[in-house]
Copies of this chain bind each other. A is one copy, B any other.
């Protein structure tokens, strides 16, 4: 484990959270390896490989979004982070602050993502 990889992982987490607000589905999918797995939320059917992951993020693109990284912890080639996503639908805002866990390859690309949240964590404001 070089500090360079830790720095790369931290930068990727920051970029991910920024792209959830402002990026395209393609830009989000490009953070992942070709055979990556996304389980969001944990307990649902995983999305496997680039096309399925891109489709998953397509849904976001229709909505007005803001995000904020609250905290990130990096250990080995994995990261756990807590962030807040606010989605605006007309007059209604929905706030979700999941904890995500990502695994990375040696180049700092994401091989898996798991998002921890439940229906009770969706807040309407």
Contacts and interface: CB of A to CB of B under 8 A. Distances in A.
A28 interface: no
B73 A6 contact: no
Contacts of A1: 43
B74 A118 contact: yes
Interface residues of A, number: 26
A99 to B, nearest CB: 4
Contact of A43 (B41, B78, B98, B121): B78
B75 A115 contact: yes
A8 to B, nearest CB: 14
B73 A121 contact: yes
Contacts of A51: none
A66 to B, nearest CB: 19
